[in-house]
Amino acid sequence: MRRMGLAIVVVVMGMAGVALGEVDLGVMKEAKENMDEGKYEECMAKLGKLLAHTSSFEKTTERGKLLAMKGECLLRQKQGQAAQEVFAASAAAYPTKDAKEAAVSAATAELIGKSKELTYVPTTGEGEKKGIGIVESKDRVAAFEAMFRDLLAERQTEMKNVLKPPPAVVQVAAIEEFAGKARGVSNAEVAATGEDKQTKALMTETAAATKKCLNGTITQMTRQVENIATEADKMVTVGKGQRKRGITPTEKNTLTGMATTVGKLTTTIKGLVTTLGTDADYFKQELEDAASLKKKAEDAVRRHKVN
């Protein structure tokens, strides 16, 4: 399975066997032959006509593949910037973002962007970091593999920094940003190996660490609310009588702020299910604990007089 990194071919091959509505399959076959023979200008001319025909339904697998062929022609002619833009357009043209073809196109666009003079230089691994050419598809597989290793290492380091203690609510935003970057790792892994097992493992690890972070945050805030409420319930002597101590203006602001923060946190936790790709109930306990914390904070404000 490892050398399914030849997914580069998936993007540009198999073209004649797909249904393209009224697109002239004969022209498409000729375009593919032109590309294989190195007749890139002729191929581009034919692709232009075919792409014009698909302009009325842009988000289709067919249009994505046609754009990928165009990007391939441009890349083989060493027109890096133009190829990068077309591959990015190809990825966006597919109807589903997780399609293998879309992932390969997206990874190709990123690879071009990270390459200097169409040569990718790895940043991780042992020994001398030799550049890998990306113009030829046979070299590009190795470049995809190197980019995947580099991106995975970057994300693993970022995850540790984002989730390092002490836990804080503000880190949830950083987690969302991290998860977005991790999609690039997935694209590179699919392009290099044909699957995204290691990226999924990273996301599973991130979800578990996020759960731990949220638990720590909610537990810490709950203790703070409970401590304020406990102190507020203590009896104090005032003149000749006694009354509950109540809460100070500062404590009221703290409790009100916590209730607001937890309300926002609840919305964010629900979003993490999609961001991290977890099961719908993965953060169920955290949502219940957050709702309980919010109620405790609001009750403490309602029940205690400000003194």
Q: What is the pLDDT of residue 20?
A: 44
- Cα-based angle 291, 295, 296 (whole degrees, multiple of 5): 115
Task: Identify the CA nearest to 232 among candidates 255, 202, 257.
Answer: 255
Q: Which residues contact 199 (CB under 8 A, 6 or more apart)?
A: 152, 182, 185, 186, 189
Phi, psi of 74, rounded to the nearest 5 degrees: -65, -40
Task: Identify the CA nearest to 174 among candidates 204, 205, 213, 208.
Answer: 213
Q: What is the pTM of this model?
A: 0.72
Q: Which residue has the tokens 């196109």?
A: 105
Give, for 259, the enclosing helix (H) or strand (E): helix 249-276
And the tokens for 43? 């191929």
Strand partners, 235: 244
And the tokens for 73? 């022609």
Walk along the chain (307 residues) and give the pLDDT tens digit of each residue. Answer: 444 444 444 444 444 334 444 557 788 889 999 999 999 999 999 999 888 877 646 678 888 889 999 999 999 999 999 999 999 999 999 887 557 899 999 999 999 999 999 999 999 877 678 999 999 988 899 999 999 999 999 888 887 776 665 444 546 667 777 777 787 899 999 999 999 999 989 888 888 888 888 888 899 999 999 999 999 999 999 888 899 999 999 999 999 999 998 888 888 888 888 878 889 899 999 999 999 999 999 999 999 999 8
Strand partners, 116: 119
By three-state DSSP, how is residue 128 classified? coil
d(CA 232, CA 149): 55
